[in-house]
């Protein structure tokens, strides 16, 4: 932020900045866990101790094997973890804004690819692209926090982001019983 801003202007500007951070972290946290609920091929009923009938799921509609369904959930996490150090390094070389916009674009493009996929391979590609963008959003969140906040202010922002991840992970879709 420009140094010539008053403390009141800086606080107002930071408020909107962190609303954006919280919103995209909420989207990433929900998306990182949502597909695992929708993909199961078979569901085990613990109350009846028998295998429930096949339920109408994404994996059934796409004729996916359980291994392919597993990789759809794992592709997001794997690509997210693989791209995080790349975003941090490239943000030093190319700037924060271009890397943030790249991450947002990849996450959005991956979401669109997943939404229009009619084949499991396209869903895997979409989840991978989405994970690459999600990892960038997560990394750029902490890079931008480090740039914009003093050491004494960071604990509040990290607490808010942790609560966002808690809510996004827990409040995601629930499996049908």
Predicted pLDDT at 141: 92
In a domain, 63, yes or no: yes
Distance CA 93, CA 6 (A): 29
* 34 has a pLDDT exceeding 80: no
* Residues paired with 44 in a beta bridge: 51
Give the closest residue to 137 by CA, choosing from 1, 5, 22: 22
In a domain, 176, yes or no: no
Domain ranges, residue 39: 12-170
Predicted pLDDT at 143: 94
In a domain, 56, yes or no: yes
In a domain, 101, yes or no: yes
Percent of the chain with pLDDT over 70: 81
pLDDT digits (tens, 9 = 90+) for 64-88: 887 887 888 889 989 999 999 999 9
* 5 has a pLDDT exceeding 80: no
Predicted pLDDT at 173: 65
In a domain, 175, yes or no: no
Tell me, what CATH number does 58's domain have? Answer: 1.20.1250.20
Specify the number of domains making up the chain.
Answer: 1
In a domain, 3, yes or no: no
pLDDT digits (tens, 9 = 90+) for 106-160: 999 999 998 898 888 999 999 999 999 999 999 999 999 888 888 888 888 888 8
In a domain, 81, yes or no: yes
* 46 has a pLDDT exceeding 50: no
Predicted pLDDT at 82: 96
**Residue 51 CB: number of other CB atoms within 10 A?**
10
Answering whether pTM is above 0.85, one says no
In a domain, 53, yes or no: yes
**3-class SS string, the chain:** CCCCCCHHHHHHHHHHHHHHHHHHHHHHHHHHHHHHHHCCCCCEECCCCEECCCCCCHHHHCCCCHHHHHHHHHHHHHHHHHHHHHHHHHHHHHCHHHHHHHHHHHHHHHHHHHHHCCCHHHHHHHHHHHHHHHHHHHHHHHHHHHHHCCHHHHHHHHHHHHHHHHHHHHCCCCCCC
């Amino acid at each position: 932020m420009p140094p010539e801003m008053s403390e009141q202007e800086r606080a107002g500007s930071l408020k909107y900045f962190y609303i954006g951070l919280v919103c995209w972290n909420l989207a990433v946290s929900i998306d990182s866990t949502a597909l695992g609920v929708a993909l199961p091929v078979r569901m085990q009923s613990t109350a009846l101790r028998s295998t429930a009938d096949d339920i109408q799921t994404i994996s059934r509609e796409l004729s996916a094997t359980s291994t392919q369904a597993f990789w759809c959930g794992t592709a997001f996490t794997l690509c997210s973890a693989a791209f995080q150090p790349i975003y941090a390094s490239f943000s030093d070389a190319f700037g924060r804004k271009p890397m943030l916009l790249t991450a947002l674009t990849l996450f959005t493009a991956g979401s669109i690819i997943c939404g229009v996929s009619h084949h499991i391979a396209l869903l895997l590609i979409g989840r991978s692209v989405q994970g690459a963008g999600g990892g960038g959003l997560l990394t750029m969140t902490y890079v931008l926090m480090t740039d914009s906040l003093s050491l004494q202010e960071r604990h509040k922002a990290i607490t808010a982001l942790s609560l966002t991840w808690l809510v996004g992970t827990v409040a995601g879709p629930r499996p049908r019983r």
